[in-house]
Structure 1
Amino acid sequence: MEDALSPLDGRYNNQTRDLSPFFSEFALTTYRISIEVRYLIFLSELHIISLTSKEKQKIKEIATRFSKKEYARIKTTEKKVNHDIKAIEYFLQGRLEDMGISSVVSFIHFGLTSEDVNNLSYSLMLKESKEKVMEIAISNLIESLVQVSSNSIDIPILARTHGQPATPTIFGKEMANYIYRLKKQYDKIQRHHFDGKLNGAVGNYNALHFAFPHINWVTHVSNFISKLGLIPHPSTTQILPYDSHLEYFQHLQLLNGILLDLSLNIWNYVMLGILKQKNENREVGSSTMPQKINPIDFENAEGNLILAQGMIEVMVRKLATSRLSRDLSDSTVRRSYGVMCGYSLVAYKSIIRGLGKISVDKESAAFELNNHWEVLSEPVQTYLRMKNNSKAYEILKKQARGKIWDKKAYYALLEGMGLEKNEHLTRLSPLIYLGLSKKLAKSILKRGEKVNSLSIL
C-alpha cells in the first residue's frame, strides 16, 4: 500500500482491515444495494408487486454476490450521471432485466429519496462494525488491563498528586480504576442502538401515500426498519437526524478519553521507573542510543486517540445541524466514519500490545517508597486529630512541607512528639500504609461483570 494517502490504508492497513467490510466505498455500495433489494421484496410483501419465491431469492443474491466487477460498472455509470444512488438504481434495473424480472423494474427505489437508502446503510454500517469489530477490540483491551491489575494486586507504589509524592497506593488498584470506567462505557456502547427512516423526500411519505393511500405506511415501514435491527425514527425531514450516530460517537469519545488518560499515565509510570518494559531483542529503541526501550505503543495510542477525538468533535459539531430539509455538506463528513473508527481501533490495538510488555518493577517501587517516609505525615496528623489536637495539621506542616524523610527522620519525629511507643504509628511504613486499596481493587475485579463473555476474574 505504498501509494496509500492515509496511514490507515498504508502503515496501519493490517490493523484496520477488519473495518473495510463495513466502511470502504465497496462496502457502502453493497449496503445500498442490499437496502434497495430488501425494499423491493418489502413491496412484494405488501402486494404492490408480485414476486415468486424463486425471484425473491435471485434478487437477494444481487446483494449477497455483488462483485468488484459490478462495482466498477456502477462507478462508471456514476461518473456519467454524477449521482451515486441513481447509478445503483440503473445497475439494478439492468440486473433485473437480465434475470427476466423486468415487470418490477419501475418499482426499484419506488417513492424513496436517496437519503432513505443512505441513512439505513450508514446505520447498519455503524451497527455491524460496532458489534463485529469495535466491541471485540474494546473487550480485549479491558481483558488485558484486568490481567495487568490482577498481576499487580499486591504491589505498593508511591502515588503522586500534582506530580509530587503522595499517600501510597497499589498499582493494581490504579489499573482497576480504569477497568471500572472503561467497563461502564463499554456497557453503554453494547446497549446502543441506531435509528433509521424510510419516509420519502421530506419525511412525510408523500409519494408513497399518493400512490397507495390505503396502506398504513408508518406501521409497515416501522416493521421494515425494525427487521433491519434499527429503531424507526417517528418524524424526520429528508434526512435522518444524526443523533443516534452522534450518541455512539460520544460514547467512543468518552472511552477514548479514558484510554488517553491511561496511555499518558502508563507513560509516566515508565518514565518514573515504576514500570519496566519487556526487552524484545529484535526491536530497536533508538537509531543512535542502543540502550533505549521506548513506550512507543502508548505514544502511538496517544496520537491516534487524539486524531479520533478530533474527528468526533468535528462530526458532532457538523452533523447536529442541517439547512432546512437537507443540504449535502453532511455527505463528506459521514464518509469519514470509518476513518474515525480506524484511528480508534489502531489505538486500542497499540494499548493491548503495550500492556503485554509492561510489569511493575517491584524493587524500584519499594525503593521509592522507602525514600519518602514523609508521606506518613498524614497518619500522624490524623492520629493527633483523633486526640483532639486542633493544631495537628499545622504541626505536621511545619515538620514535613517541602521535606523528604527517611525512616530515621520519621522515628525522630515520633520521638520528638512523645509518640515513639505508639504501636499504631511505629508499626507504619510507606509499604503498608495502603488503606483499603487492595480491597477496592479486588471489589472491581470480582464483580462478576462480563467482558466478551468472560468474567473479570
Structure 2
Amino acid sequence: MSICPLDDRYRKETAPVREIMAGPALAQARVEVEIRYLIALSDEPGVIELPRFTTDMQIRLKNIYENFDAPDYYIVLDHENNPTTGTRHDVKAIEYWLRNRLAPLHVPVQFVHFALTSEDVTNLAYGLLINRLLCTVIDVTLSLFIGNLRRFARKHINAPLLGMTHLQPATPTTVGEQLLVFTDRLKRKLREIRKFRMHGKFGGAVGNLSAHYAAYPDVNWHEFRTKFVRSLGLSPLKRTTQINPHDDIARLSHLMSELNGILIDLAQDMPLYIGRGVFCLHAVPGEVGSSTMPHKVNPTDWETAKGALGAANALFDFFARELPVNKLQRELCDSIIQRFIGEAFAAHHLAVVKMLRGLEKVSINTTALLKEIDENPEVFGEAIQTVMRRYGYVDAYEQLKEMTRGKRVTIGELCDFIDTLEQMPDDAKLRLKNSIAHNLMDPSHPPFMREALDFPLYERGNEGDFPRV
C-alpha cells in the first residue's frame, strides 16, 4: 500500500524517477560516496595509515555500491530502526553496514566516514542522483515530447487557425505557428537546465575541514576537497556551514518551475482547442470518459498533466523558498524537505508522459478550422488597415473600427470595401482580397503568413544536440 498516488495509481509512469530517487537509490548513493571517498583517501600520500588500494581491491570496493540491492537496503534500515539497537540516524546506519561489509576485505574500517559529517555524504549523494536524473529521465522524456510536438507542428504549419485574444476572435494564425511557440520556449528552458550542475559541500561538522587538518595537518585538504567533489561531477563549494546551503536546489527548483509553467500553458490550451472542435480527440477502445455519460471522450491526459504540474510546482516553489534558510550552522528542516524532491520530479515526469499520450490522440479538424474563420471575417481588419496605412490612409484604423468593431461583416463586404480604396494600387487590392479568400478556402495558403520553413527538429548549441530518442 502507498499513501502517494505517484507510487500507486501512477506507479508505472513514475518508475524511471523512482529508480533514481527513491529510498534505496539514496542509500546506494550514500554508499557510493563513502566508498569513493575511502578510495580517494587511500590515494592521498599524506594519509600514511591507509595504504593505497590495489586495482583489484578498488574493483571489489566499487562492486559493493554497484551491486547494492534490496536486501542490503533492508539491513541498513534495520541498523537505523531496530527497536533495541537502531541508530535512529540514516547515515550512521550506512557507516555501520559498510564497516561490516569491509571487514572480510581487511580494510582499515576506521577510515570509513573519516572526519565527515552526515551532510557531507548526503548532499553529495543527492547531487549524484539529481544530476543523473536530469541527464537521463528528465532530459530524455522532455526532448521526446519536444520532438513529437515539433513534428506535429511542422505537419500543420499551414493549417489556418482563428486567433483568440481575451477569448475573442482575433487575427488568424496557423496551428503549426502556435505550437512552435511552445517548442521554442521549452527548448530554451531545457538548454538552461542542461547547463545546470549540482554543488557539492565537503568540509566536516561546520564546513572548515577542521577535523581533517587536526588528523593530518600536512595534507592540503582544500585541494583534496576540490578534486574529490569534481570527481563526482559536482561543483565544489569553498565556504559553507555544516550543510550545503541548497542554493543549487533553489536554482534548479526555479528552473523546473519555469519549465512546468510552460507545460501548464500548453496543457491548458490543448483542451480549449479540443473543446472548440478545431482539434479532434480520438477515442481509445475500452476507455471510459464518464461513469454516467457514455458518449464522453475527455482530454484527461492534458488535464491530469496540468494537475500534476501544479503539484510539482507547489513543491519546487517550497524548496526554493525554504531550503536556503537554516539556523546558524545547521538545523534539520532541510533533511525532511529534501526527501520530497523525488515526488516533485515524479509529478513533473508523470505530466510529460501524459502529454505525450495526449498528443498521440489528437488530430486537426480542417473543416472546423475553416468554419471558425469563415464565421468571423472581421478578424482580417488588422491586415486591411495595416496595408491601408502603407498607401497613405491616416485614418485606416478608424475606418476599420467603424466597419467591424462589435459588428458582423461578410467576406463580400470586406472585398467591396477594399475596392473603394482609390489610393491603394490594384495589385495590392488583389493580393489582399486573394489572401483573405485563400485563407477561407485553401488551408495551404493562409494569409499574411510566411511560407513553411524547413525547421531543424533539434538545434545545435554549445551544450550539444538534443538526444535522438
TM norm structure 2: 0.91
Between stretches 9-18 and 407-416, larger displacement belongs to 407-416
Identity of aligned residues (%): 32
1:159–1:167 contact (8 Å) kept in structure 2: yes
Which range is displaced more, 298-307 or 66-75? 66-75
1:453 aligns with 2:467: yes
In the alignment, what sits opposite 1:387? Answer: 391
Question: How many Å apart are 1:57 and its aligned residue?
Answer: 3.0
For the 8 Å contact 2:302–2:354, the answer to whether it is kept is: yes
Distance in 1 (alpha carbons) for counterparts of 2:24 and 2:433: 71
Q: 2:431 aligns with which of 408, 414, 424?
A: 424
Counterpart of 1:396 (choices 395, 400, 419) is 400
What residue number does 1:42 align with? Answer: 40
| Distance in 2 separating the partners of 1:436 and 1:417 | 23
Q: What is the distance in 2 between the residues matched to 1:39 and 1:267?
A: 52
CA–CA separation in structure 1 for the residues paired with 2:30 and 2:455: 47
* Alignment: residue pair count: 450
Per-residue Cα deviation, 1:382-418 (whole angstroms, up to 9, x for no partner): 2332233322212211110011222233234345666
In structure 1, the partner of 2:11 is 13
Q: Say which of 116, 122, 129 aligns to 1:118.
A: 122
Separation in 2 of the partners of 1:55 and 1:428? 76
- Give 1:40 deviation, angstroms: 1.1
CA contact (8 A) 2:247 2:324 kept: yes
* Cα distance per residue 1:333-389 (max 9 Å; x no partner): 101111000000000000011111111111110111111111122222223322333
Name the SS for the 2:162 alignment partner: strand
Displacement of 1:258 in angstroms is 0.5
Match of 2:65 in 1: 63
What is the match of residue 95 of structure 1? 101
CA distance in 2, matches of 1:144, 1:384: 40
- After superposition, give the CA deviation of every residue in 1:279-323 in whole Å (9 maximum; x if it has no partner): 323222222222221111100100000000111010001012111
The secondary structure found in structure 1 opposite 2:169 is strand
* 2:442 aligned residue: none
TM superposition shift of 1:194: 1.3
Q: What does 1:41-440 correspond to in 2, within 5 Å?
A: 41-47=39-45, 48=47, 49-53=50-54, 54-79=56-81, 80-101=86-107, 104-414=108-418, 422-429=429-436, 431=439, 432=445, 434-439=447-452
d(CA) in 1 for partners of 2:186, 2:293: 36
Sort the Cα spacing of 1:222 and 1:390 in 2 relative to 1 into closer, same or farther, 3 A: same
Supply the distance in 1 between the matched residues of 2:283 and 2:69 (Cα, whole angstroms).
Answer: 46
**Residues 427 and 434 of structure 1, relative CA distance in 2, 3 Å threshold:** closer
Q: CA RMSD in A?
A: 2.1
Q: CA deviation at 1:214?
A: 0.7
Change (3 A) 1:451 1:260: farther
Q: Is the 8 A contact 2:161 2:172 kept in 1?
A: yes
Distance 2:451 2:459 in 1: 14
Q: Cα deviation per residue 1:123-168 (whole Å; 9 max; x = unaligned)?
A: 1110011112111111011011012102101211111111111111
CA separation of 1:248 and 1:59: change in aligned 2, threshold 3 A = same
Distance 2:190 2:12 in 1: 24
Q: Which amino acid aligns with 1:151?
A: K
Query: Do the aligned residues in 1 keep the contact of 2:174 with 2:446 (CA within 8 Å)?
Result: no
Which range moves more in the overlay, 208-217 or 281-290? 281-290
Q: 1:30 aligns with which of 28, 31, 47?
A: 28
Look up the equivalent residue of 1:64 and give its one-letter code.
Answer: E
Distance across 1 between alignment mates of 2:24 and 2:206: 28
For residues 70 and 427 of structure 1, do their structure 2 counterparts lie closer, same or farther at Cα, with a shift above 3 Å needed? closer
Q: Is the 8 A contact 2:6 2:343 kept in 1?
A: yes
Confirm or deny: 8 A CA contact 1:170 1:438 kept in the other structure.
no
2:436–2:447 CA contact under 8 A, matched in 1: no
| Aligned partner letter, 1:209 | Y
Unmatched 5+ stretches in structure 1: none
SS in 1 for 2:435: coil
Q: Which amino acid aligns with 1:119?
A: N
Do the aligned residues in 1 keep the contact of 2:249 with 2:320 (CA within 8 Å)? Answer: no
Distance of 2:457 and 2:131 partners within structure 1: 29
Using the alignment, how far apart are the partners of 1:211 and 1:100 within structure 2?
Answer: 22
Provide the C-alpha distance between the structure 2 equivalents of 1:179 and 1:444, rounded to a whole number of angstroms: 12
- Structure 2 distance, partners of 1:106, 1:92, is 11
Once residues 365 and 89 of structure 1 are traced to their aligned partners in structure 2, the CA distance between those partners, rounded to angstroms, is: 65
Find the aligned partners of 2:403 and 2:460 in 1 and give their Cα distance: 46
The change in CA–CA distance for 1:282 and 1:228 in structure 2 (over 3 A counts) is: same
The residue type equivalent to 1:84 in the other structure is: D
C-alpha contact 2:39 2:53 (8 A) present in aligned 1? no
Q: Distance in 2 between matches of 1:25 and 1:63?
A: 14
